[in-house]
Chains A and B, each alone.
Chain A
Amino acid sequence: MLRLEAIDAGYGGGRVLQGFSLDVAAGEIVCLLGRNGAGKTTCMKAIMGLLPLMAGRVMLDGQDIGRLPAHEVPKAGIGYVPQGRRLFAGLSVAQNLEIGLRARGSGRDTLEEVLDLFPRLRERMAQPAQTLSGGEQQMLATARALCLRPKVLLLDEPTEGLQPSMIEAIRQVIVQMRDAGVAVLLVEQRVDAVLSVADRVAFIETGRNGEVMEADALRADHGIVERYVGV
């Protein structure tokens, strides 16, 4: 579904990612793990076209989307929930979702499906986004990305700063999306959160590929986590 082929990307002239490659299949959750500054968020931004590719290709269903303008990438089928949620704070929950729906011309059916995944949002449709709790804001950010009906969903630290009940709610949605055939690429710092949800784990170290392994194998070998992440 999504394939990164030896991509280089970074800021200004600096290459944060160097020859980084990764595959995410439909109906699979792949987690990207690495230390702070390793290049995880840079990888997400490069996929979304927010940073120019200096080398390599980003393939989606066999099509190279690596040079598309940023606003065309979501239309190709990639939804992105960035770190820090980035809601439209002054707009209501309903208006935030409406903007997501209109982007792909999705209708009421899509909205109902998304709200079924996040029933808490249904009760808060008229509320300004800035007045939601942190967990609800994360739900809204994820729901808005799902309004695009993405084939691939990129989530950058979706459980950061959330209480356990909210983390569990987000985790369940991620699993549901995977079961519905969506390819999920997840960036996480919390190893326990990764192990509870991922099918495969890809390590990233100073912008280069580390090991890629099944999550089950990682559960049996915590030494490797310590090596790449330091916990």
Chain B
Amino acid sequence: MTRQTARILALHGGLLAVLFAAQFVLPAYHHGNLARIMVLASYAIGYNILFGYTGLLSLGHALFFAAGMYAMGLGIQYGGLSPAPAFLAGVVAGALISGALALLALRTTGVAFMIVTLMFAQAGYLTILYFGEYTRGDEGFVIQTAQRMLWGINLSDPVNRYFAAFGLFAISLSLSLWMVRAPFGRVLVAIRENEDRVQMLGYDTYVHKLGAMVVSGTISAAAGAAYGLLFGYAGASFASVQYSIFPLLWVLLGGAGTVLGPFIGTLFMFYLIDLSSGVTTAYMLIAGVVLVALTLFAPQGLAGEVRRRVWRGLP
């Protein structure tokens, strides 16, 4: 193991150790927040694989998040599934939908790709509203505590919920770190830098982008399924365009194309809104000013700036 690899493992392993230990010291309020942040950060990690590493800006990731959430939720509500197979159904739904969307959307590039992904996500959102008889539309539906028992473990219990969120985040982070350091991930970065050149080296860039989109969509769907399962609710707002913009913001703030960026961005944004809303009702104004300042002074995001100024090898 090289010194560089050891440092990378120490940093990412260190973050996981801190998050694990935080469970025992955090007050109840922040304990709950951190569980939510870890699930949303997993969503951002999925988004980062497509946007940060492959350079494809999607405006439709809410479709994958909601696909996971609804396949899981409807599976429990109407299919009588227990949490484990319902979660699996959510993950599979995300993989299938992201694969199908990739086949169509990857025929386009740039702005057209953004528009196609946005349109499909809107179609997904409208589909949820259309089938309101089952999905309960905007209102959504609650997944009862009794339906969230996983092998006798109550997932609505804060401690169990925290560990489940931690498990999802640890898997997502590790997968992301492994992938970007593996040859497949290197090719994704190369595609982001110069797709023509990658083709000229003999790589089928379409297949690589397809793979990136499926992995990204699957992780996003897993986050959606976990969110519904751990917080007991599935609603159409999670399929709205707002939930496609959120991961983009989190990733940009934390540092696109960095493994830790999505977590940092999600944590930062969550607490920025949480704290500023305690100060004033015009909290979005405060959030906006801080975001503008960050964009001006840390254009590569927080982790991106660390990479630029301190540690060039930060993955």
A125-142 CB mask vs B (1 if < 8 Å, else 0) is 010100000000000000
Which residues of chain B have C-beta atoms less than 8 A from A73's C-beta? 200, 202
A84: shortest Cβ distance to chain B, in Å?
A: 10
Once the chains are docked, how many angstroms separate the CA of A100 from the CA of B199? 11
Q: Is A116 among interface residues, defined by CB-CB distance under 8 A?
A: no
Do residues B202 and A88 form an inter-chain contact, with CB atoms below 8 A? no
Do residues B200 and A70 form an inter-chain contact, with CB atoms below 8 A? yes
The stretch of B12-20, B111-119, B156-164, B184-192 that contacts the partner chain: B184-192
Q: Which of B192, B193, B196, B202 contacts A75 (CB 8 A)?
A: B202
Q: Which of B4, B193, B198, B200 contacts A48 (CB 8 A)?
A: B200
Once the chains are docked, how many angstroms separate the CA of A102 from the CA of B189? 15
Do residues B201 and A103 form an inter-chain contact, with CB atoms below 8 A? yes
A31-68 CB mask vs B (1 if < 8 Å, else 0) is 00000000000000000101000000000000000000
Please tell me the number of chain B residues within 8 Å of chain A, measured between CB atoms: 22
Once the chains are docked, how many angstroms separate the CA of A90 from the CA of B307? 11
Q: Is B204 among interface residues, defined by CB-CB distance under 8 A?
A: yes
Once the chains are docked, how many angstroms separate the CA of A70 from the CA of B257? 27
Once the chains are docked, how many angstroms separate the CA of A91 from the CA of B198? 13
In the complex, chain B residues 193-249 whose Cβ is within 8 Å of any chain A Cβ: 193-194, 196-205
A152: shortest Cβ distance to chain B, in Å?
A: 13
**Given A50-B196, A86-B196, A91 contacting B189 (CB threshold 8 A):** yes
Q: Is A95 among interface residues, defined by CB-CB distance under 8 A?
A: yes
**Given A95-B186, A99-B186, A148 contacting B202 (CB threshold 8 A):** yes
**Given A71-B202, A104-B202, A86 contacting B187 (CB threshold 8 A):** no
Once the chains are docked, how many angstroms separate the CA of A95 from the CA of B201? 14
Do residues B312 and A128 form an inter-chain contact, with CB atoms below 8 A? yes
Once the chains are docked, how many angstroms separate the CA of A80 from the CA of B197? 9
Do residues B183 and A71 form an inter-chain contact, with CB atoms below 8 A? no
Q: Is the interface of B mostly helix, strand, loop or mixed?
A: helix
Do residues A71 and B204 form an inter-chain contact, with CB atoms below 8 A? yes
**Given A88-B193, A91-B189, A102 contacting B200 (CB threshold 8 A):** no
A48: shortest Cβ distance to chain B, in Å?
A: 6
Which residues of chain B have C-beta atoms less than 8 A from A90's C-beta? 189, 192-193, 257
Do residues B183 and A98 form an inter-chain contact, with CB atoms below 8 A? yes
A141: shortest Cβ distance to chain B, in Å?
A: 9
Which residues of chain B have C-beta atoms less than 8 A from A91's C-beta? 186, 189-190, 193
**Given A91-B190, A95-B186, A128-B312, A71 contacting B197 (CB threshold 8 A):** no
B137: shortest Cβ distance to chain A, in Å?
A: 44
Once the chains are docked, how many angstroms separate the CA of A88 from the CA of B187? 10
Q: Is A144 among interface residues, defined by CB-CB distance under 8 A?
A: yes
Which residues of chain A have C-beta atoms less than 8 A from B189's C-beta? 88, 90-91
Which residues of chain B have C-beta atoms less than 8 A from A82's C-beta? 197, 200
Once the chains are docked, how many angstroms separate the CA of A84 from the CA of B1? 36
Do residues A71 and B203 form an inter-chain contact, with CB atoms below 8 A? yes
Of all chain B residues, which has the CB nearest A129?
B193
Q: Which of A71, A74, A99, A128 contacts B190 (CB 8 A)?
A: A99
Once the chains are docked, how many angstroms separate the CA of A148 from the CA of B313? 26
Do residues A80 and B186 form an inter-chain contact, with CB atoms below 8 A? no
Most buried by B among A48, A80, A88, A103: A88
Of all chain A residues, which has the CB nearest B2?
A126
Once the chains are docked, how many angstroms separate the CA of A148 from the CA of B198? 12
**Given A91-B186, A98-B186, A74 contacting B193 (CB threshold 8 A):** no
A90-120 CB mask vs B (1 if < 8 Å, else 0) is 1100010011101110000000000000000
Once the chains are docked, how many angstroms separate the CA of A100 from the CA of B183? 11
Once the chains are docked, how many angstroms separate the CA of A128 from the CA of B314? 12
Instruction: List 22 A–B pairs whose Cβ atoms lie within 8 Å, in order of A's numbering.
Output: A50-B199, A70-B199, A71-B199, A71-B202, A71-B203, A72-B202, A73-B200, A73-B202, A74-B200, A82-B197, A86-B194, A88-B197, A91-B186, A99-B187, A99-B198, A99-B203, A102-B183, A102-B187, A126-B4, A126-B313, A148-B201, A148-B202
Binding site for B on A (CB under 8 A): 48, 50, 69-75, 80, 82, 86-91, 95, 98-100, 102-104, 126, 128, 144, 148
